[in-house]
Amino acid sequence: MPEFQLPSTQGMFSNATLRGHWTFVLFGYTHCPDVCPTSLALLADVTRQLQGKTTPPQVVFVSVDAPRDSIDLLRKYVPAFNPAFIGATGSDAAMKPLTRDLGVYYVRNVGEDPAENSNSYSVDHTSSFFLIAPDGSLRAVFQLPQEAGPMARDTAVIMAR
């Protein structure tokens, strides 16, 4: 994975954050009406189901909406799903190495006159979960829809390899 560095709710999120831990990375934004909160709730359930069986992966929610999603907002939003979850964001240029390597797509739908709807736009984005191994390599991509039980079992099998 190429070098990247993004501000996060726990310092900087970078390649170093991935080393030594299994990590789920997902992309979204805090104003997302459905997919993002559902995805974070699903990962909270998956990590709960893995407790006691194996060390659950850390979870990093990367906001692709830096104009609205400040670190302060991510500090309020992300822990509502699980206090251990990390929120990160950054400029498009800062995210490019990570998003390009994982094949993540996003576009802010701000309309023709951004001044008229500066805070009321949607963001189309990849809604997959990327499971990163402790060596920083991509091991699995989970696509929606998912159920927590099967996803937790599959995650445990992948992590045991």
Does position 125 have pLDDT exceeding 90, yes or no?
no
pLDDT of residue 116: 59
pLDDT of residue 84: 97
Share of the chain above pLDDT 90, in %: 81
Does position 81 have pLDDT exceeding 70, yes or no?
yes
pLDDT tens track for 8-17: 999 999 999 9
Confidence of residue 2 (pLDDT cuts 50, 70, 90): confident
**Contact status, residue 88 vs residue 103, Cβ threshold 8 Å:** no
**Contact status, residue 144 vs residue 27, Cβ threshold 8 Å:** no
Does position 6 have pLDDT exceeding 80, yes or no?
yes
What residue segments make up the domains of the chain, in order of their start? 21-160
Query: What value does the mean pLDDT of the chain take?
Result: 92
Share of the chain above pLDDT 70, in %: 95
The class of domain 21-160 in CATH terms is alpha beta
Does position 112 have pLDDT exceeding 80, yes or no?
no
Mean pLDDT (whole number) for 126-136: 95
Give the Å distances, CA to CA, from 92 to 34, 35, 95, 120, 137: 23, 21, 5, 19, 22
Q: Which of 132, 128, 7 is nearest to 58 (CA)?
A: 132
pLDDT of residue 114: 54
3-state secondary structure the chain: CCCCEEEECCEEEEHHHHCCCCEEEEEECCCCCCHHHHHHHHHHHHHHHHCCCCCCCEEEEEECCCCCCCHHHHHHHHHHCCCCCEEECCCHHHHHHHHHHHCCCEEEECCCCCCCCCCCCEEEECCCEEEECCCCCEEEEECCCCCHHHHHHHHHHHHHC
Confidence of residue 140 (pLDDT cuts 50, 70, 90): very high
pLDDT of residue 72: 97
Q: Which of 53, 51, 47 is nearest to 23 (CA)?
A: 47
